[in-house]
Structure 1
Amino acid sequence: MKPLLVSVAIAGFATGSLAQSGPTTLGMTCAQARGIVASRGAAVLRTGPATYDRYVRDGSFCALQETARPAWVRTADVAQCPVGGVCRSVDIDNGR
């Protein structure tokens, strides 16, 4: 395997393991979860033992042809904490 491919493969494994390690939003207050997204602009948050997603402060952190849709997560103190948004593809036909 070429060195670049090995680096990409290692980075892929590291990203997956990082997304699955650490505290979940279930162990944070709503203010803490919101603060992470607000301060970083975009962050991968674990929302349960095997679930996670990438949350963004606003649409400027989404790729082209994506928009930020509002997102809520369960935290230690709130059942539906508005942490920011998640990037989703724009439906070109409907403008959404």
Structure 2
Amino acid sequence: MIALLAATGFAEARPDTLAMSCGEAAGLVAAHGAIVLGTGPNLYDRYVRELRFCSGFEQLKPEWVKTRDNPQCFIGYTCYVPTRDNNFR
């Protein structure tokens, strides 16, 4: 039974940007380099400080999220794979 619970795992709590100040959320990304943050009920994403935290041909896309004190807080970047359809430039 314990092995089954370990295999399925329990959801680990993610830091929630809605409960943080803008500075705290941006500080987490800066301190960790890459981190998964919750941005609302059942919403989350991986945010990075710089390109070296992405893989392969991924590029950076700036991201703003809602925090306790700022509805559009710049906290860092997400990694994405550019294509003809979503070329961010």
TM > 0.5: yes
Residue 47 of structure 1 aligns to a residue whose secondary structure is: strand
C-alpha change, 1:52 and 1:34, in structure 2 (3 Å) is: same
Paired residue total: 84
**Residue 36 of structure 1, CA deviation:** 0.3
Cα RMSD over matched residues?
Answer: 2.5
- TM-score normalised over the length of structure 1: 0.75
Runs of 4+ in 1 over 2 A off after TM superposition: 90-96
CA contact under 8 A between 1:72 and 1:83: conserved in structure 2? yes
Q: Structure 2, unaligned stretches of length 5 or more?
A: none
Shift of 1:22: 4.3
18, 36, 50: which one aligns with 1:26: 18
Q: CA deviation at 1:95?
A: 8.8
1:17 — aligned with what?
Answer: 11
How many angstroms apart in 2 are the aligned matches of 1:95 and 1:44?
Answer: 22
Instruction: Say if 2:54 is the partner of 1:62.
Output: yes
Distance 1:25 1:87, change over 3 A: same
Measured in 2, the distance between the counterparts of 1:56 and 1:71 equals 10
* In structure 2, distance between residues paired with 1:62 and 1:22: 20
Report the structure, 1 or 2, having the larger helix content: 1
Deviation at 1:17, TM superposition (A): 1.5
Percent of residue pairs identical = 45
- Separation in 1 of the partners of 2:50 and 2:17? 19
Unaligned runs of 5+ in 1: 1-5
